[in-house]
Structure 1
Amino acid sequence: MGSMGSDHKPHAVCIPYPAQGHITPMLKVAKLLHSLHGFHITFVNTDYNHRRLLRSQGPAALDGLPEFQFVTIPDGLPPSDDDSTQDIPSLCRSTMTTCLPHFRKLLEELNDTSTSLPKVTCVISDCVMSFTLDAARGLGVPIAFFWTASTCGFMGYFHYRHLIDEGIIPLKDASQFTNGYLDTAIGSVPGLKNMRLRDFPSFLRTLDPDEFMVHFILREMERATMPDAIIVNTFDDFERRALEAMAAILPPIYTVGPSPSSPAASPTVHSAPYVCTEWGIGMEIDNDVKRKEVEGLIREIMGGEKGKEMKRRAMEWKEIAVEATQEGGPSLVNLKRLVHEVLLAKKGAV
């Protein structure tokens, strides 16, 4: 974008969900906006994760550059010096109910005329931190939600309401955990094939109609229709069918991946049918895990014909992913479109 004074520099506030599998992809997008498109970046961590990063990477790890700063807000949970991912339901409840006023105050401070910072131009928020929508709307700047997991995961979440309306969840009694009910085919999710109830997150398998995580996801997915855009951590060739289904029901979507994420550290859909069937890079094990079965699968993966085919497919996908994120590749082209069409839409600058 060339050099420009701080008054004219675009300023993106990036706020991930406070778990490492969400922070890393958001940080990658922030760095690309900074290095390729000249954005001033304010990266928002929670106090808890800020301390964790400083402990693991040293006191200078988050110093940043003059135009790439790290700031913090509280997550609303009791203070802790633990060095682990926080309890997901507790964290979701707390961020949803306590973080909005802290984030609003931060935006006000960033826009204070007594600072030398450029005015906030846009907000990029994790999709499950939708309280940020209210703050961005109050400030009058564009907001893009960032979905850091797979597109098929998003589509699964988005159709929770349908599972409830059809009476598929909550479970009726404890026998449904073991009597084959979890193998119920779910064919009503656009863009997804071969999905079963067991392929959705475990917190969906509940007898409690008031299960918090189910209602949290329902709320966040309803609000996912409201931002100016949704950024997805994937690439077009990897999830084309699911992306087409997603684009048909949501604001403009921009694929800018892949970048590293950790499904184990977040509430994400288990995409076993895609890993095993669509992408051909995994093998599924039955829920009734036995040592002999595990041993057989490991042997097949390490030296069997299926294992060789999986390795071949993994290398193919790796090459396509690398091409997507290289100069001129679709992911960087989409990032440029996002900047011009959404993030700078109200600034009138390129």
Structure 2
Amino acid sequence: MIRFLRAWGLRLLVATIPLSMAAGASAEAGYPSRPIKLVAPIAPGGLTDALARVLATALGERLGQPMVVDNRAGGGGIIGMTAAARSAPDGYTLVIVYQGVASVNPVLRKDLPYDTLRDFAPIGLSGGFPLALVTKADLPATTVRELLQLARSQPGRLSYASAGDATSSHLTMELFKRRAGLDLVHVPYRGEAPALNDLLAGQVDMEFTSLTSVLPHLANPRLRVLAVSTAARSKLAPDLPTVAESGVPGFQATGWYGLMAPAGTPEAVIDRLNRALVAVLSDTAMKARLQAMGLEAFSSSPQAMRGFIVEDMAKWGKVIAETGIKVD
């Protein structure tokens, strides 16, 4: 479990607000009595879709009713999130959320048709992944400290790739720049794969990208993996240091996932779903399966998830405000 998220879980999982016993017994008694829809605000394929399907299968088995993934792609996740927010708050429509749709869109887009904290009820966090700080192989820096020295000696000369404006790779590097006092040139791409390809080709100097995408390249002589972005070392690559321990104290950025329901969903139903989610993610086989996908399994209470999103919004909102990042 990633240390920052674990702290939230321990802080608030034990402080869950007591449910109304009468309302709880009535709402949960027959739930679920029919299939549950899990909205995935992305296109089929990719890590988010794969996680949604793994969780849907496992949760369906535990709850005794099928859980079916409904891909609603478009608008950077806005279409799917809006559809989920407008669904009946009865526990039969859920949505898998991630940093971009839950905590970045609300502080990035002024005309967003949904509000994460107003329109959704958290169920629980459901896993995450570190980003890796990667450089091209011939950059004369073999550690984060050496990279900091190099960049500070050549302000505005070194470049970094991202998967696009306001993506996690972009925001994480902007956070890194500000924490470390660096001046780097941003080169946005249309996705993680082309950005990594140009790094391998030596066209850009560095980037933050998902650790999963670079694990197959750890022995590749064309790139160098310096550190991971999380507060603690990753189980996926425990020999890699964190950025925080390598010269930028307090630095932390985590790609994360969670489940939410439309606001107004009965607390007893949320509690039932949370207990099922926690049980699924505590399973040893599930942890191993997610690790094979490049994810670290962890869970939280609904209250912990809400608190985490509030802090995540504040962090990325500050970065966006300071940099003037915008999207079309």
The answer, yes or no, to whether TM exceeds 0.5 is no
Say which structure is richer in strand. Answer: 2
Using the size of structure 1 for normalisation, the TM-score is 0.33
TM-score, normalised on structure 2? 0.34
Q: Which has the larger radius of gyration?
A: 1
